[in-house]
Structures are given as C-alpha cells and as structure tokens.
Amino acid sequence: MATQPTDQDFDSPSLNVEGEKRLPADITTFLSKAAEDEQAEFSQSPWGSPATLTARAPYHAASGRVCRRIDVSTPASGSLVGIACQHENTWHWVRNVTR
C-alpha cells in the first residue's frame, strides 16, 4: 500500500485550503489536462518516488469544485486511492469522506 503523504511531502509545508494539501506543480498540470484513465509517472511525488498516477474522470463535488479520483502506485509501497480537487488553478489532496 502506498503511504499517505505527510505535510512535508507537498509543495507547501503548511496546510492549504481547509486542511487540504497542495499538490506539486507537475502533478497539478497532469490532473488539469489528463484524459479519463490517463497515466503518468513522476520521478518525485508526495507518495514516494517514482510514482505512477492514474487520473479518473473529473466530477463536480458538492462543494462545487472539480475533483478526480487518483490511483497512486509506487514500487516500494504499492497502491493507494485518493481524491484531488481543483482550487484556484491548483490541485489539492483532500480527505476522502466515503472511505
């Protein structure tokens, strides 16, 4: 199982929007442009390195923001499913309220 990222794994050492954590710029760019089920590998990521991310279909959350489920896979830690939501042209790792 891929490890849950900690505060120091993200672009900003501080928490951002209501406790959410801002994702690095390269991952934000990928999530903004990726087609449904598109994969990309990142040499550095909050979940370990390298990491393969699969962006699932974008959807509108109850908050009104665009969100996507992302599947994360790392050689050392395995896999993890999470949610990222867009906020002011950046993507944030958010708490999954359904798991």
Residue 12 has what pLDDT? 46
Residue 15 has what pLDDT? 44
Residue 55 has what pLDDT? 98
Q: Within a domain: residue 63?
A: yes
Residue 20 has what pLDDT? 83
Q: Within a domain: residue 2?
A: no
pTM: 0.79
Residue 13 has what pLDDT? 39
Q: Within a domain: residue 84?
A: yes
| Radius of gyration for the alpha carbons in the chain, expressed in angstroms and rounded | 12
Q: Within a domain: residue 28?
A: yes
Q: Using one digit for the tens of pLDDT, what is the confidence trace for 65-80?
A: 999 999 999 998 899 9
The number of CA neighbours under 13 Å toward the Cβ of 23 is: 26
Q: How many domains does the chain have?
A: 1
> Tokens 């959410």, residue?
20
Residue numbers of the domain that contains 69: 7-94
Q: Phi, psi at residue 46, to the nearest 5°?
A: -65, -15
Give the mean pLDDT of the chain: 85
Q: Which residues of the chain have pLDDT under 70?
A: 1-19, 97-99
Q: Where are the beta strands (DSSP E) in 7-77?
A: 21-22, 38-42, 51-60, 66-74
